A and B are shown apart, each in its own frame.
Chain A
């Protein structure tokens, strides 16, 4: 380290010159758009005519907008289910892919690759995979459905179920996935698990960092399997779990590509996501002011959730 001399004018200018791309970027891509968007959120604005100040009406009208409330609830549901599910699934995959195995690198490659594909392609491929009539998924599900149905039907009969319910069990069929309003959201949640490759890689890197000595001393104490996982691996991994949790929460509130291409929000509004309705309100219905208000609400939601995550981290994240 050099002795700290005073920062001269020259130093200051050079530093700012090198940082100039970002400083200009902050002004042009951040400060100006953020202030404008905050202003627009209080205006009636179509982008075709100048904005007209209407106070907080864009915000207050949101709650009486059925489509908005639906998109908010849908996104909440998606976030609450898919973030923990994806964390657990990718942690499980990482533990599996971390076991000594000759083909380990090939398996890692296979899990990682789909996460690099364009989401539009993922959406198009999976729509075809899940096609109820021609897709392979429902072809293979047909058999277990038949077995389970035939197994459960007598049991239901023994419990005096209604004849129509028993009949339904005898004809148990795989779901229609995206075409069924009750299944569409679950389908999108399940599909998001296909793209967890990057999370898995981050977990694997975290597993590499766990000091080997800990396992060795645990082995001397006779701890194996589950107890090693519970008392060494998971606690040492909490910073990485936390990182993936925060990234996951932020991403879950911005989901757009997958449902936009797969369902366009349907059937009905079953998969209408927050960002999708925002886009629709702004660029299709030309309610730019309302779209800006939604974006600010979205920002506040993300901010609150992140703050909660950081606050809770003090209780469960072990920093070395």
Chain B
């Protein structure tokens, strides 16, 4: 946009300023990830040597791994403290169950809150809103006791079974989407003699697929990243998830082998980065709706 009365040189100066700011921001947000990958392929010796004060040599020592040590990854996977295939499977099983549970149950409830008429649905919506605000810590101790009485401590059940009872945030998200679907669609199906379950299954689920995808992705990533849950409920090392295992690995190594720690971190983070690049639009759309329609 060119504004009359402004000199070319001011516009150029502004453009340069914006470019410099963007570049600085990009460096701030990328540098830690670069440093993680970089350290993960260094030798232990290189990562821990004192940085020379000559700037050129220091840059070389800091950023260029020589030789490239892919061996770190093998050592992490073979370490008795970081059983990657096992932890990856544990994490994946829980995250998939969480995603399925959240999508199905939240969709049912959102349908009941928007398309079905019954007494109490408004009150229920207020409960949905209210329970989103509750801190987990208020329920933490009694839930632990309940799960212990069921014999579930040390299993992954407390981490995924509750998501089959419709997490309120996802109900809210799906409800916003259901509200945009015109009632005429269901009315036509009712005249054709379809029951409510058929309508939900064969009309609503396909129609709300974009929003369901958002719920699936959000809940999957949230479960993958969850730390407090596994910390409280998982007691045996063979049931650990990646996030918990990473913390465990860090305290084991206590600042000794940063190369291995970074290799482990790469392995924990890469699946999330891949999912992000595959579904970037869905993520951004989902986050945007929570803020705008909230």
Q: Which residues of A contact B (CB under 8 A)?
A: 1-2, 4, 7, 11-12, 14-16, 18-26, 28-30, 32-34, 36-37, 40, 47, 93, 96-97, 99-101, 103, 107-114, 116-122, 124-126, 128-129, 131, 133-134, 136, 139, 194, 198, 201-206, 209, 219, 224, 240, 243-244, 250, 253-254, 256-257, 260-261, 275, 278-279, 282-283, 288, 291-292, 294-296, 298-299, 302-303, 306
Stretch of B77-85, B205-213, B280-288 that contacts chain A? B280-288
Quick check: A15 and B112 within 8 Å, CB to CB?
Answer: yes
What string of 1s and 0s marks CB contacts (under 8 Å) between B133-145 and chain A?
A: 1111111111111
Residue of B26, B128, B142, B221 touching A36 (CB-CB under 8 A)? B142
Residues of A within 8 A of B203 (CB): none
Complex Cα distance A30/B50, Å? 54
Residues of A within 8 A of B162 (CB): 25, 29
For residue A18, which residue of chain B has the nearest CB?
B112
- Interface assignment of B124: CB less than 8 Å from any CB of chain A: yes
For residue A122, which residue of chain B has the nearest CB?
B32
Quick check: B48 and A134 within 8 Å, CB to CB?
Answer: yes
- The secondary-structure label for the interface of chain A is helix
Complex Cα distance A244/B118, Å? 33
Interface residues in B156-183 (C-beta closer than 8 Å to A): 162, 164-166, 168, 171, 183
A sample of 12 more A-B contacts (CB under 8 A), given A12-B118, A99-B18, A109-B280, is A2-B187, A15-B117, A26-B127, A34-B139, A111-B25, A125-B32, A125-B265, A202-B290, A204-B288, A256-B228, A261-B247, A279-B137
Complex Cα distance A36/B140, Å? 11
Quick check: B105 and A136 within 8 Å, CB to CB?
Answer: no
8 smallest A-B Cβ distances: which pairs? A15-B118, A25-B165, A202-B291, A205-B288, A18-B112, A36-B142, A118-B225, A21-B105
Quick check: B29 and A121 within 8 Å, CB to CB?
Answer: no
Quick check: A37 and B36 within 8 Å, CB to CB?
Answer: no
Quick check: B272 and A118 within 8 Å, CB to CB?
Answer: yes
Quick check: A125 and B36 within 8 Å, CB to CB?
Answer: yes
- The secondary-structure label for the interface of chain B is helix
Residues of A within 8 A of B244 (CB): 120
Give the most central of B48, B51, B200, B284: most A CB within 10 Å. B284
Complex Cα distance A206/B294, Å? 12
- Interface assignment of B98: CB less than 8 Å from any CB of chain A: no
With contacts A124-B265, A128-B262 known, is A101 near B18, CB below 8 A? yes
Residues of B within 8 A of A306 (CB): 133
Residue of B39, B113, B268 touching A118 (CB-CB under 8 A)? B268
Quick check: B18 and A96 within 8 Å, CB to CB?
Answer: yes
Quick check: A240 and B32 within 8 Å, CB to CB?
Answer: no
Quick check: A278 and B29 within 8 Å, CB to CB?
Answer: no
Q: How far is the CB of A289 from chain B (nearest CB, A)?
A: 9
Interface residues on B, range: 35 or more
Residues of A within 8 A of B30 (CB): 110
Complex Cα distance A26/B287, Å? 25
- Interface assignment of B227: CB less than 8 Å from any CB of chain A: yes
With contacts A21-B166, A254-B137, A295-B137 known, is A33 near B284, CB below 8 A? no
Interface residues in B20-56 (C-beta closer than 8 Å to A): 21-22, 25-26, 28-33, 35-36, 39, 47-48, 50-51
Residues of A within 8 A of B294 (CB): 243
Residues of B within 8 A of A205 (CB): 287-289, 291-292
Interface residues in B109-132 (C-beta closer than 8 Å to A): 109, 111-113, 116-121, 124, 127-128, 131
Quick check: B284 and A112 within 8 Å, CB to CB?
Answer: yes
Residue of A36, A103, A112, A128 touching B35 (CB-CB under 8 A)? A128
With contacts A18-B109, A25-B166, A205-B288 known, is A30 near B32, CB below 8 A? no
Q: How far is the CB of B215 from chain A (nearest CB, A)?
A: 14
Complex Cα distance A195/B291, Å? 17
Complex Cα distance A10/B291, Å? 36
Residues of B within 8 A of A136 (CB): 31, 35, 62-63
Complex Cα distance A12/B117, Å? 7
Q: How far is the CB of B130 from chain A (nearest CB, A)?
A: 9
Quick check: B287 and A96 within 8 Å, CB to CB?
Answer: no
Quick check: A14 and B135 within 8 Å, CB to CB?
Answer: no
Quick check: A47 and B112 within 8 Å, CB to CB?
Answer: no
Residues of A within 8 A of B148 (CB): 47
Quick check: A96 and B22 within 8 Å, CB to CB?
Answer: yes
With contacts A1-B183, A22-B166, A120-B247 known, is A32 near B261, CB below 8 A? no
Residues of B within 8 A of A295 (CB): 135, 137-138, 140-141
Residues of A within 8 A of B116 (CB): 11, 14-15, 18
- Subset of 8 A-B contacts with CB under 8 Å: A7-B118, A15-B118, A100-B1, A107-B26, A113-B29, A128-B35, A194-B28, A202-B290
Q: How far is the CB of B100 from chain A (nearest CB, A)?
A: 13
- Interface assignment of B3: CB less than 8 Å from any CB of chain A: yes
Quick check: A33 and B137 within 8 Å, CB to CB?
Answer: no
For residue B63, which residue of chain A has the nearest CB?
A136
Quick check: B121 and A19 within 8 Å, CB to CB?
Answer: yes
Complex Cα distance A111/B246, Å? 24
- Interface assignment of B243: CB less than 8 Å from any CB of chain A: yes
